[in-house]
């Protein structure tokens, strides 16, 4: 399903972004976000939900399914720098990131990489156009980081599975039409017997809780999901049965790299806006940025953020070459998200009372930053993985 670059879409304008080179792509992303998304973003924040019409605008613009082949409606751009540019421009525009990143990563990491030809033809075109929204559901009320703790069970009965259990803290949980769900299909050793099933919106036995109220990223919906004798066709199995944990591990480097890209872009954005503030805001008749203590704090943050950018650029290069390991992903995700939280905290302090206001840039960034050290593997779990790789 090729997209038409020239034809006007259903919204009455040609919103197709140009991707001849990175600079043009960045410019097109920025213009699209400022024109189509920023004016409506506060409504998403207030409602805790991105409007469905804007998912379609994202799709029509070419911002969804960047690495998916044009055969299935994507752009066919496998260079991960395109995804990083999109993340940077979303952060710059102040747009809620997790839902969009999760949707794109699910398309690329699971369905396009692991799906059968029939599954790709069935799901990818509409996902790339934003007509359907994707989510991944692994975390459960009893645990999240350890897939061995999964209690949602799928029992095969002929040409379908019966799924029973529940998931929680699911990004895009309300909007999602198609959810990649981790289920237990076989009792095996730790981490074994996990499979990935695609559960669709209208399947009998599938229900959702009320939208969950978070302290940050409020424009991205989060929900609990429930499965009671949910009947799922065997044809909705992604990859092979009982290999789900292997698939998770294969996709994890991309997921953690995407979170790291959010972290670095956010830290840069927070620091930049804070520098502008401390040059204007005065105390005792001088800019607060001129006090030695504040200058030194900002000098330290500036240096660490620049180190993070070099680290991220190198990781993206290694990922593109297929040389980016699970441990590499754990290291950069841990380090950059902790740095993001540090930068957000120090910069909020420099804003004083103004930073503590919910609608301030500093306040929003501080709240949004807090989740980064939790999802995609907590900092504690990542340090366990890193230490084990060192033979400890």
Task: Provide the annotated active-site residues.
Answer: 255
Strand-pairing partners, residue 283, are 286
H or E element that contains 28 = helix 22-32
How much of the chain is helix, strand and coil, in % rounded to 5?
55, 15, 30
The secondary structure of 344-372 as a DSSP string is: HHHHHHHHGGGGGSTTSHHHHHHHHHHGG
Contact (Cβ atoms closer than 8 angstroms) between residue 19 and residue 77:
yes
Task: Please identify which residue in the block is written with the tokens 């990004």.
Answer: 171
| Residues 343 and 297: beta-carbon distance below 8 Å | no
CA distance linking residue 379 with residue 240, whole number of Å: 31
- Comparing CA positions, the residue from 147, 74, 171, 169 lying closest to residue 115 is 74
Enter the tokens of residue 356.
């503590």
Q: What is the DSSP letter of 132?
A: S
Q: Which of 206, 174, 193 is nearest to 55 (CA)?
A: 174
CA separation for the pair 162, 171 (Å, rounded): 24
Q: Which helix (H) or strand (E) holds 98?
A: helix 98-106
- Residues 377 and 133: their CA atoms lie apart, in Å, by 23
Per the CB < 8 A criterion, the answer to whether 131 and 122 are in contact is no
C-alpha span between 269 and 264 (Å, rounded): 9
Compute the radius of gyration of the chain from its Cα atoms.
21
Q: Which residues pair with 231 in a beta bridge?
A: 162
Would the CA dihedral through 380, 385, 390, 392 be positive or negative?
positive
CA-CA-CA-CA dihedral for 343, 345, 351, 353, to nearest 10: 170
């Amino acid at each position: 399903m090729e997209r038409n670059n020239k034809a006007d879409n259903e919204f009455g304008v040609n919103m197709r972004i140009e991707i001849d080179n990175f600079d043009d792509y960045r410019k097109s992303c920025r213009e699209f976000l400022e024109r189509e998304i920023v004016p409506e973003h506060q409504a998403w924040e207030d409602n805790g939900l991105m409007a469905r019409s804007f998912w379609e605008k994202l799709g029509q613009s070419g911002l969804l399914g960047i690495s998916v082949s044009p055969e299935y409606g994507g752009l066919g751009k496998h260079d991960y720098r395109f995804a990083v540019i999109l993340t940077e421009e979303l952060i710059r525009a102040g747009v809620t990131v997790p839902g969009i990143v999760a949707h794109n990563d699910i398309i690329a990491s699971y369905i396009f990489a692991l799906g059968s030809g029939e599954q790709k033809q069935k799901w990818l075109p509409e996902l790339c156009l934003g007509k359907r929204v994707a989510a991944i559901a692994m975390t459960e009320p009893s645990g999240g980081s350890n897939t061995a703790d999964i209690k949602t069970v799928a029992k095969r009965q002929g040409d379908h599975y019966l799924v029973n259990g529940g998931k929680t803290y699911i990004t895009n949980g309300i909007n999602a039409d198609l959810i990649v769900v981790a289920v237990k299909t076989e009792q095996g050793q730790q981490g074994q017997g996990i499979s990935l099933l695609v559960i669709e919106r209208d399947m009998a036995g599938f229900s959702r809780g009320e939208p969950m109220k978070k302290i940050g990223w409020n424009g991205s919906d989060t929900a609990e999901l429930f499965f009671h004798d949910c009947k799922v066709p065997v044809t909705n199995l992604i990859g092979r049965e009982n290999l789900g944990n292997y698939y998770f591990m294969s996709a994890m480097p991309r997921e953690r790299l995407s979170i790291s890209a959010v972290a670095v872009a956010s830290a840069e954005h927070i620091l930049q806006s804070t520098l502008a503030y401390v040059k204007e805001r005065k105390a005792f008749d001088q800019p607060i940025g001129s006090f030695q203590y504040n200058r030194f704090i900002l000098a330290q943050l500036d240096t660490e953020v620049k180190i993070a950018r070099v680290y991220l650029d190198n990781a993206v290069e290694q990922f593109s070459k297929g040389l980016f390991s699970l441990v590499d992903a754990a290291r950069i995700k841990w380090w950059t998200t902790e740095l993001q939280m540090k930068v957000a905290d120090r910069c909020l302090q420099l804003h004083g009372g103004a930073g503590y206001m919910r609608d301030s840039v500093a306040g929003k960034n501080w709240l949004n930053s807090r989740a980064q050290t939790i999802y995609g593997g907590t900092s504690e779990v990542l340090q366990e993985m890193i230490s084990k790789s060192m033979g400890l």
